[in-house]
Structure 1
Amino acid sequence: MSDDNNKPTLGRKPLGLKRTVETGQVQQQFSHGRKNTVVVEVKKKRVFGKPGEAAPAPQPEPVVEAPKPAAPAPVAPKPAAPAPRVSEVEQTLTRKEMQEKLLREAEEARLALAEEARRREEQQRQSASEEEKRRAEENRKAEEDARIAAEKAAAEDDKRASEAAKAPSAPAAEEPAKAEEAPAQRGTTERFPPARKFTPVEAPKRPEQPKPNRNRGGDDRRQGKLTVTRALDEGDGGARARSLAALKRAREKERRAHMGPAGPREKQVRDVVVPEAITVQELANRMAEKGADLVKALFKMGMMVTVNQTIDADTAELLVTEFGHNITRVSEADIDIDTATDVDAEDTLKVRPPVVTIMGHVDHGKTSLLDALRGANVQSGEAGGITQHIGSYQITTKDGHQITFLDTPGHEAFTEMRARGANVTDIVVLVVAADDGLMPQTIEAINHTKAAGVPMIVAINKIDKDGANPQKIRERLLEHEIIVEAMSGDVQDVEVSAKTGQGLEDLIEKISLQAELMELKANPDRDAEGTVIEAKLDKGRGAVATILVRRGTLKVGDIFVVGTESGRVRAMVNDQGKQVKQAGPSMPVEVLGLGGVPMAGDTLTVVENEARAREVASYRHEQATLKRTAMAPASLENMFSALADKAKIIEFPVLVKADVQGSVEAIVNALNKLSTDEIRVRVLHSGVGAITESDVTLASASSAPIIGFNVRPNAKAREAIERNKVRLKYFDVIYHLTEDIAKEMAGELGPEIIETVVGRAEIKEIFNAGKKDKAAGLLVTDGYIKKGIHARVTRDDVIVSKTIIASLRRFKDDVAEVRAGLECGVVLEGTNDIKPGDTLEVFDVEERARTL
């Protein structure tokens, strides 16, 4: 019996497992030429059968023979004689080998069937191709035969026509011939389809097989990312979907086309607001007209303009009238908010707390008095023990009434801050120390109070000190037309002690009485208006402004404009550090949410929307810019004269940064007061907030020191300061700042040179003294001449040279000094430009430290 692995398998090597020569090893062969040898356990096959029956004969292995076209004889079955031998072989096989053998045989059978199907398909394809070629050849031959027959028929027709032309009398005899030839010709052509008689026949193309759809989800599955455009495009076959407005326009166009030409549409008349200056395009937009039409109208008027050119209100009025619109003329000032014309009705007013400002000289106890009133210690937190910010506080009296206090600085640098305090206050409490009397800032506070026209209450403080004389203070006040009630006047006065608390109740009573007499009222049920008491730039909270509400109620979320800045109220903090949702009249609050740091004294006004706030802020910013440019020299002559004046004066540039806006103003004013005819301070930049990198860059470019008042630089600014070697000065007390800057400015000028003329002499003769020098014979006319003293030679009262007396002789002896009325000889150092008749003036030079 031959081995099963040697069976023919259609001409190719069979796949599957083969047994190796070594017993117990099987070699696996895979596709792509890979092989693997595994060790198997060889066991004898167990044969199961019914009792009493012989062992079943092994089934013959299925053999698939390749079809042979020549002799397809059937394969004879194997004889059953060698069955015992097969049984012996199979007994040596294991169960696993038998399974592998069966699998291998099944695989070979499958491959044989596949090969047979492939060959059958190839034969069918070849037969179809041969059939197509045969049909194409038959069609070509038929076409060729038809063409030849047609050519022959055409030649015969031509021949008959020529013969008929030669013999016109015999047409009747030729008719039967034509009739006889017609069937013959028709019979020749009827063998072929008449439609294919003269058309070339091409070989039929194979029908294209439809490409399989690779989309698992069906044909409607979209490829790639689905977007709105693709979704709209796919719905109408790739065309872009039309918008709803386009559809409406198309329908309206169709409707007008069906209804015929409509009559002229009625012109819409508009009310056009025209400011003092407006561009042509903006005017066209307000009129709802085309800009080109306005330009044409202006060209007809003789004005060559463009749509971006600005025209005045008169020209705009002509255009508006010509186009048939109504004009409403307004000025640019109407954009701004005028609070003076907005007066509340009398029935809407309600009683409000009084605003009391504490004024007086520095160190007279203003803040200490306020601390005693509100039970807090604010004075200890101020640098140097003096107040440098306007503090705003609100206290509640025993009877439940509220009083708002403003604590203004008493130092002379804060004059403007005190002036703002007098303008927003209802009552002024003038604090005068009983042991010190009236001082310059006290007198200044009296003048501010008179200018503001507000009532005053005199608080004579420090009466607990030894040497206190309140009566002397009252008498001194008479010099400034302040007559207190104790001296039959109308000004209330009270003796208090902030240290012991004496007289504080009397002071509160007098303030309440004065407020009651004034009948202070405001309308709380309206949009808020207030005044900026102080403003600063906080690192964590941004721009922060202390607002004193004058009327209305300021709420969180209100949109406002303050000065050249606008914003929205994000949060409000009262004087105790607590957040509040709203602030009524006479209540001081810190407001967060500003777009920038406003100026102290600016008015805060709540507006209806953000657009209005931005419009007003932009207008105010433009007006401020115009004001600054208007202060510049108006002509070239003025400009050059100003430059010439600047050239004579030494400039001391500085850069100022402070914690609040009021301190910035006070520092700038104090520095400007230090300027003299020889040197002046030039403030390159002043602002609120920490020192930034841009500040350092500006100071480095101008070689100017940076003055930091209660502020410090950030990390990047510190690196820039070290890199650029910029001088940085920190201060927390303003008069320390002014003293230091005054010393630096004096140092820039250098020591002061003082010349003192000590003698004069007249040059009589000139002598040679050595090879180069010349000696002058003098007659001392005034004072004396000393050796080594400074001298100047004048000729006709014009200075010729400045020099020093190098040698002084009388006769042949060197002397140290020659008095008036005597003659002497001198040698001048560094000059020989001397002539008889010149005057020699000698003087001493003294250097003194300069002070401003």
Structure 2
Amino acid sequence: MNIRSPIVSVLGHVDHGKTTLLDYIRGSTIASREAGGITQHIGATEIPIETISDICGPLIDKLSIADTIPGLFFIDTPGHAAFTSLRKRGGALADLAILIVDINEGFKPQTLEALNILKMYKTPFIVATNKVDKLFGWDSIENASFTESFKSQAPSVQQDLEMKVYEVVGRLHEAGFQSERFDRVSDFASQIAIVPISAKTGEGVIELITMLLGLAQKYLTSQLAIHKDAPAKGTVLEVKEEVGLGTTIDAIIYDGVLKTNDEIALMVPGDVITTKIRSILKPRPLNEIRDSKNKFEKIDQVTAAAGVKIAAPHLDNVISGSPLQVLNDKEDVKEQILKEIDDVTIDTEDRGVLVKADTLGSLEAIVSLLTDLKVPIRSADIGDVSKRDVINGQIASEENDEDGVIFAFNVSVHPQVREDLEESDVKLFEGEVIYQLTEDYSIWIKEKKEAERKAYLDAIIKPGKIFSIPKLIFRQSKPAICGIEVLSGTIKPGYPLINANGHPVGKIASMEDNGESLQFISRGQKVAMAIDNAIAGKDFEEGDELYIDIPENHYKVLNREFKDKLSEDELQTLDEFVEIKRRNDPDWGKLGLFE
């Protein structure tokens, strides 16, 4: 049986140390040359077992794996990209993952996103709590194991690290994972190992790599079996222009052998194309696909697992994250790729939101998270946001305003399309963090429901009481005008009034203070009030307390849904008002038999 290197995805929040870790392992300086120190492109690095043995020394000898696992193959994803954009038949491309968490900053939005993705694909992973060298008082020992370095620290520093590790344990527990520091794990099948490291000094990296190899040896041997002479299968990482080569693709080959002049099938929007390989370029071990300092070597063939650059015609519209497969006589490869696309189950409904994403895998990830939130999906496609999407979003909005939403993950929105969006009722959620998109959507929905609830509450007539100030009757009728003081609640024009006996008084026509017309008045205010259909001296007297006459259906809604929104004086007035009403009708406003 031929065994390939496990494919390891390195995930984590931006600037938590993903590339720095790989730099330490391969002894390169990729991170320092990246813009702002942040990984800008998807890359892959092959680490042979000989290099791993040099790094880990005697610790790795205990695993006895030199003859079984040829090394480790790392995928270094950008901080903003979920590794689900890298797929193979049956799920995620990665066999294992390292989730890097800055031990001092803890969990961030992209950390939580990565956890959701790992959970969705059931990918085994190890948590590396990075930057232990930044702990206050930490005394670094270059290239040491964590065990050696930890023993040499002051007790207060050890305690600080323990507290921070258990904060991570707690956050993982909230996300549904059991975990423990790696040297205390009792069952690697059910517990996530947490390895404290410094990607800068190398502390703990020995244990991290050893844990990866140990997991691969124990749980993934059958998964790593490859058909060494079979036609290659792989995944497209990136499509880009190269001087002298034209449009090329960077790809991971995870099974079989790829040769120059092989005819390969690739996915483009809505179809599968075939093209013939002109040349295969491969970085040497410990070099990296993005590293332009060392030119690629041209090779005739390559066996999985490998990262390669492929030059061939007609690559312009190939979709990143999509399958790559060599045509052969034994299989209908085009049909297989179409089936693989269909296997990414995206059930759409007659109503719901629209989803646009850059790759098949990220589309699947967003759809999965939205499905968990029970958000219906009207359409889900790869590609930039178009005018048609805005039109469809507007139609959805007119049917249900919560459906008038477009999720745009890592795709472009043309300026003209933005103008169309601004003139529509469609809400756009765009960004490069899937978790953040769904979080923002949830907040928007919550705020929307709160606004609707507030508008509903504003339309409900609420309790209020006024006092007719003695000797301030300005007109007796048509309308009656008197001076009043608000005893409780908020009073508005149009509200009907009753007296303390429950008899109708009239309807508030207007309210004025020093000649200024008022739309509402509150407790403590004294104003002149005009009351339609009321006669002073007949319907009410000077010194009377008058109540807002709440309609019975308004009272039931208020009592059932909004009582917690009333102030103490409003609640007291409501009790007085209900007592007045029930003197004449004992069942007034009752919600049911058990009130």
- TM-score computed with the length of structure 1 as normaliser: 0.38
Q: Which residue of 2 aligns with 1:584?
A: 303
Q: Is the 8 A contact 2:5 2:73 kept in 1?
A: yes
Q: Given the alignment, which residue of 203, 213, 216 partners 1:502?
A: 203
Q: What is the alpha-carbon distance in structure 2 between the residues aligned to residue 415 and residue 828 of structure 1? A: 69
Q: Is the 8 A contact 1:357 1:422 kept in 2?
A: no
Q: Is the 8 A contact 2:4 2:304 kept in 1?
A: yes
Q: What is the alpha-carbon distance in structure 2 between the residues aligned to residue 734 and residue 450 of structure 1? A: 17
Q: What is the alpha-carbon distance in structure 2 between the residues aligned to residue 722 and residue 488 of structure 1? A: 52
Gaps of 5+ in 2: 53-69, 137-156, 283-287, 291-295, 395-403, 468-474, 499-506, 534-538, 541-545, 555-595
Q: Which residue of 1 aligns with 2:162?
A: 471
What pairs with 1:193-208 in structure 2 (closer than 5 Å)?
none
Q: CA deviation at 1:587?
A: 1.1
Q: Which residue of 2 aligns with 1:295?
A: none
Q: Which residue of 1 aligns with 2:184?
A: 487
Higher relative contact order, structure no. (Cα contacts within 8 Å, ≥ 6 residues apart): 2
Q: Which residue of 1 aligns with 2:253?
A: 549
Q: What is the alpha-carbon distance in structure 1 between the residues aligned to residue 317 and residue 99 of structure 2? A: 34
Q: Which residue of 1 aligns with 2:383?
A: 687
Q: Given the alignment, which residue of 25, 30, 45 partners 1:377?
A: 30
Distance 1:588 1:490, change over 3 A: farther
Q: CA deviation at 1:553?
A: 0.6
Q: What is the alpha-carbon distance in structure 1 between the residues aligned to residue 108 and residue 133 of structure 2? A: 20
Q: Is the 8 A contact 1:529 1:552 kept in 2?
A: yes
Q: What is the alpha-carbon distance in structure 1 between the residues aligned to residue 35 and residue 232 of structure 2? A: 32
Q: Is the 8 A contact 1:427 1:454 kept in 2?
A: yes
Q: CA deviation at 1:620?
A: 7.1
Q: Given the alignment, which residue of 250, 275, 282 partners 1:568?
A: 275
Q: What residue identity is the alignment partner of 2:383?
A: G
Q: What residue identity is the alignment partner of 1:806?
A: S
Q: CA deviation at 1:567?
A: 1.8
Q: CA deviation at 1:528?
A: 1.6
Q: What is the alpha-carbon distance in structure 1 between the residues aligned to residue 233 and residue 118 of structure 2? A: 23
Distance 1:560 1:778, change over 3 A: farther
What pairs with 1:413-424 in structure 2 (closer than 5 Å)?
414=82, 416=84, 423-424=92-93
Q: Is the 8 A contact 1:357 1:407 kept in 2?
A: yes
Distance 1:683 1:516, change over 3 A: closer
SS at match of 2:45: strand
Q: What is the alpha-carbon distance in structure 1 between the residues aligned to residue 203 and residue 119 of structure 2? A: 28
Q: What is the alpha-carbon distance in structure 2 between the residues aligned to residue 352 and residue 369 of structure 1? A: 22
Q: Does residue 1:522 correspond to 2:229, yes or no?
A: no
Q: Given the alignment, which residue of 336, 350, 367 partners 2:2?
A: 350
Q: What is the alpha-carbon distance in structure 2 between the residues aligned to residue 394 and residue 686 of structure 1? A: 30
Q: What is the alpha-carbon distance in structure 2 between the residues aligned to residue 757 and residue 388 of structure 1? A: 57
Higher helix share: 1
Q: Which residue of 1 aligns with 2:327?
A: 607
Q: What is the alpha-carbon distance in structure 2 between the residues aligned to residue 369 and residue 559 of structure 1? A: 37
Q: Which residue of 2 aligns with 1:406?
A: 75
SS at match of 1:393: strand
Q: What is the alpha-carbon distance in structure 2 between the residues aligned to residue 780 and residue 475 of structure 1? A: 60
Q: CA deviation at 1:585?
A: 1.1
Q: What is the alpha-carbon distance in structure 2 between the residues aligned to residue 682 and residue 794 of structure 1? A: 50
Q: Is the 8 A contact 2:489 2:523 kept in 1?
A: yes
Q: Is the 8 A contact 2:496 2:548 kept in 1?
A: yes
Q: Is the 8 A contact 2:84 2:117 kept in 1?
A: no
Gaps of 5+ in 1: 1-348, 634-641, 763-768, 796-802, 830-834, 844-852
Q: What is the alpha-carbon distance in structure 1 between the residues aligned to residue 231 and residue 165 of structure 2? A: 44
Q: Is the 8 A contact 1:545 1:598 kept in 2?
A: no
Distance 1:632 1:775, change over 3 A: same
Q: Which residue of 2 aligns with 1:461?
A: 130
Q: Does residue 1:428 correspond to 2:93, yes or no?
A: no
Q: What is the alpha-carbon distance in structure 2 between the residues aligned to residue 749 and residue 452 of structure 1? A: 35
Distance 1:804 1:617, change over 3 A: farther
User: Sequence identity of aligned pairs in percent?
Assistant: 23
Q: What is the alpha-carbon distance in structure 1 between the residues aligned to residue 112 and residue 338 of structure 2? A: 40
Q: Which residue of 2 aligns with 1:190?
A: none
What pairs with 1:726-745 in structure 2 (closer than 5 Å)?
734=433
Q: Which residue of 2 aligns with 1:367?
A: 19
Q: Which residue of 2 aligns with 1:827?
A: 531
Q: CA deviation at 1:554?
A: 1.8
Q: Which residue of 1 aligns with 2:152?
A: none
Distance 1:672 1:726, change over 3 A: farther
Q: CA deviation at 1:356?
A: 1.8
Distance 1:711 1:739, change over 3 A: same
Q: CA deviation at 1:464?
A: 0.6
Distance 1:382 1:790, change over 3 A: farther
Q: Which residue of 2 aligns with 1:163?
A: none
Q: Deviation per CA, 1:398-446: give whole Å up to 9, x if none.
A: 54864211234666x8485599898433333343333245667657756
SS at match of 1:464: helix
Q: Deviation per CA, 1:236-265: give whole Å up to 9, x if none.
A: xxxxxxxxxxxxxxxxxxxxxxxxxxxxxx
Q: Which residue of 2 aligns with 1:89?
A: none
Q: Which residue of 1 aligns with 2:585?
A: none
Q: What is the alpha-carbon distance in structure 2 between the residues aligned to residue 675 and residue 453 of structure 1? A: 21
Q: What residue identity is the alignment partner of 1:357?
A: S
Q: Deviation per CA, 1:703-725: give whole Å up to 9, x if none.
A: 89999887779xxx77x779989
Q: What residue identity is the alignment partner of 2:72?
A: I
Q: Which residue of 1 aligns with 2:57?
A: none
Q: Is the 8 A contact 2:466 2:485 kept in 1?
A: yes
Q: Which residue of 2 aligns with 1:302?
A: none
Q: CA deviation at 1:465?
A: 0.8
Q: What is the alpha-carbon distance in structure 2 between the residues aligned to residue 790 and residue 387 of structure 1? A: 62
Distance 1:419 1:441, change over 3 A: farther
SS at match of 2:132: coil
Larger radius of gyration: 1
Distance 1:758 1:443, change over 3 A: same
Q: Is the 8 A contact 1:389 1:409 kept in 2?
A: yes
Q: Is the 8 A contact 2:103 2:165 kept in 1?
A: no
Q: Deviation per CA, 1:272-331: give whole Å up to 9, x if none.
A: xxxxxxxxxxxxxxxxxxxxxxxxxxxxxxxxxxxxxxxxxxxxxxxxxxxxxxxxxxxx
Q: What is the alpha-carbon distance in structure 2 between the residues aligned to residue 818 and residue 505 of structure 1? A: 70
Q: What residue identity is the alignment partner of 1:583?
A: V
Q: What residue identity is the alignment partner of 2:199?
A: A
Q: CA deviation at 1:381?
A: 3.6
What pairs with 1:680-719 in structure 2 (closer than 5 Å)?
686-687=382-383, 695=386
Q: Deviation per CA, 1:361-401: give whole Å up to 9, x if none.
A: 55432232223323133476468x66686543223465486
Q: What is the alpha-carbon distance in structure 2 between the residues aligned to residue 361 and residue 431 of structure 1? A: 7
RMSD (Å), alpha carbons: 6.3
Q: Which residue of 2 aligns with 1:289?
A: none
Q: What residue identity is the alignment partner of 1:559?
A: E
SS at match of 1:482: strand
Q: What is the alpha-carbon distance in structure 1 between the residues aligned to residue 254 and residue 231 of structure 2? A: 11
Q: How many residues align?
A: 434
